[in-house]
Amino acid sequence: MSRIVDLEWGRVMVVTDLHGDYPVYCRYRDRFLELRARGQANVLVFIGDLIHTEGARRTDGSLEIVLDLLRLRRDLGDGLIILLGNHEMPHLYGIAISKGGYTYTPRFEIAMSHHRPAIVSFFDELPLYVRTRAGVTLAHAGASHAASTVEGLRRLADYSHSAEMAKVDALLEGQDRASVRAGLAKISGQDYAVLVEQNMGLTDPDDPRYDDVLRGVLVTGLSSDFQRLWEATFNKNEHQYGLEEYTRLLEDTLAALSEDFVEQRAIVSGHIQVLGGYVVVLGRQLRLASWAHATPPEAGRYLLFDAGRPITGVDDLIKGLHTVFTPRLTGPL
């Protein structure tokens, strides 16, 4: 299974970073279904970070979104694509993701309950990139060092979460788990039980997932392929690398994505806060914000474009930006 999906045709609707807002998710889902019924859209693509909100537990619709997507996938088949975001990825590894002192992961771990096997299996299958005949690539976090060479991109395309965890399990085989946990506690300065509760929301040492935190720490520290995955899904683009370096990374990533396919001329990404609902980055990247990363959130946009019609540049995509926060679509379909 490749983690790069190639689209040759079809009208594509792109939505980003909903972060657990179920009513907003429903707006976008229903808009797509309306467009599909009218023959104006064929494929719905969410480009990551569907889950995790910092709001109150009662307003966190992360679980509802994922369960509805599982249902929707059965109905739409290849007409639904979800990319792996940095907020879905930690649940495959038992690692925490935090911001400003708030840790996102335990709430969703607890919420998954008996749905966890199906959801984790779903996350495990998610691709990282969509390339189109139009020359538009969809990627959660844009360009990166990890994807800036043909070899790096190939390793991402072939990436296996289970294979990386199997390497860790082989290292742990025959080890005294209590001693290894104690070693991790000494390094981190926190009792292992506290780490597990903070990361996974688990308090039962007999839970079969109790060592997932240990496994996650080992894979993040020892696996160069995992580091590549992390960098591809979690980097901050020009805010991290600076404009000069990110200009080069953007060009190199598009060149690598063009290998053995049509020339990729632009990347559409989410992941980073923008003023309004979108911003053009360095003339080659459209940073889209559909809700959580839009300022204000109601400025959020989705993108509609033809996967089979080549673009000349990012400007061709701007006219395909629309909103679900007004009674009618704006701009031409």
Q: Residue 223: pLDDT above 80? A: yes
pLDDT tens, residue by residue, 186-202:
888 889 998 898 888 88
**Per-residue pLDDT, 333:** 40
Minimal CA–CA distance to 268: which of 153, 84, 139, 146? 139
- The tens digit of pLDDT for each residue in 74-119 reads 999 999 999 999 999 999 998 888 888 788 999 999 999 999 999 9
| Percentage of the residues of the chain whose pLDDT score is greater than 70 | 98
Question: Model confidence over 146-186: pLDDT tens digits?
Answer: 999 999 999 999 999 999 999 999 999 988 988 989 988 88
**Half-sphere exposure for 283 (CA within 13 Å, toward CB):** 4
Out of 3.30.565.10, 1.20.140.10, 3.60.21.10, 3.30.1330.30, the CATH code matching 4-158+233-322 is 3.60.21.10
pTM tops 0.85: yes
Is residue 328 over pLDDT 60?
Answer: no
- The DSSP-derived string for 166-228 is HHHHHHHTTS-HHHHHHHHHHHHTS-HHHHHHHHH----TTSTTTTHHHHHHHHHHH-HHHHH
- CA 303/CA 296 separation, integer angstroms: 18
**pLDDT tens per residue across span 263-316:** 999 999 999 999 999 999 999 999 999 999 999 999 999 999 999 999 999 999
Domain locations along the chain = 4-158+233-322
The pLDDT score that the predictor gives to residue 327 is 54
Q: Residue 304 in contact with residue 13, Cβ under 8 Å?
A: yes
